[in-house]
Amino acid sequence: MILGRATLDRRGHALYSRIVADGVSAARPCAGSTAWYPRLQGKNPGVSDVSDAIANLPPGAQLLGREWLGFDEAGHALIRFDAQSAFTNRHGTIQGGFLAAMLDSATGVCALAKLSSDLTVVTRSLDTRFLKPAAVGAITARARVTEHTERDMVVQAELMDAEGITVADATARLRILAKR
């Protein structure tokens, strides 16, 4: 099994990704725009093939510029988004609805990474807090599963700007469903 882990600098940018294959670990530099990103591959009970979850991005994820970065050393899922100028409000900062969509996307992908490939999730609720104005540019999400039962998951996520400042966070309550 191959596992990918990204190490971030203080601004939330991937410095390098650590690949673990057959028990051997190797670091691989990330391109400036993270054109290359790690993917989980192979079959492992209880962990889905994250490449399945990100290979065919839904239109909303494409609009948000979602990029899977991998997992940090603490096991948090790392996802980067591209906050475009088209997402700004009258104050010139990113409109809260786009930040909420990024948090929803990040919590969903994090949950999928913890499930077998025959399962999916839908969001039941997303409790969001907007902490600081977010500027146009890269926004990195860090998400982790905090509760997991047979039918439900709770995932917490935070969004950090290019300076590493948390601009929003959320707790998502997700329902686990069989894929159709």
- Would residue 99 count as lying in a domain? yes
DSSP bridge pairs for 169? 129, 158
Tens digits of residue pLDDT in 60-75: 999 999 999 998 888 8
| Cα–Cα distance, 61 to 174 (Å, whole number) | 18
Claim: this prediction has a pTM higher than 0.75: no
Q: For residue 155, give its domain range.
A: 46-178
- Would residue 137 count as lying in a domain? yes
CATH number of the domain encompassing residue 72: 3.10.129.10
- Residue 21 has a pLDDT of 39
Tens digits of residue pLDDT in 133-171: 999 999 999 999 999 999 999 999 999 999 999 999 999
23 phi-psi bin (left φ>0, alpha ψ -120 to 50, beta other): left
- Would residue 20 count as lying in a domain? no
Looking at the structure of the chain, the number of domains it has is 1
Decide: helix, strand or coil at residue 45.
coil
- Would residue 9 count as lying in a domain? no
Burial class of residue 63 in the structure, from the number of CB atoms within 10 Å of its CB (0-12 exposed, 13-18 middle, 19+ buried): middle
Cα dihedral 172, 8, 72, 144 in deg (nearest 10): -10
| Cα–Cα distance, 86 to 124 (Å, whole number) | 28
Contact (Cβ atoms closer than 8 angstroms) between residue 19 and residue 7: no
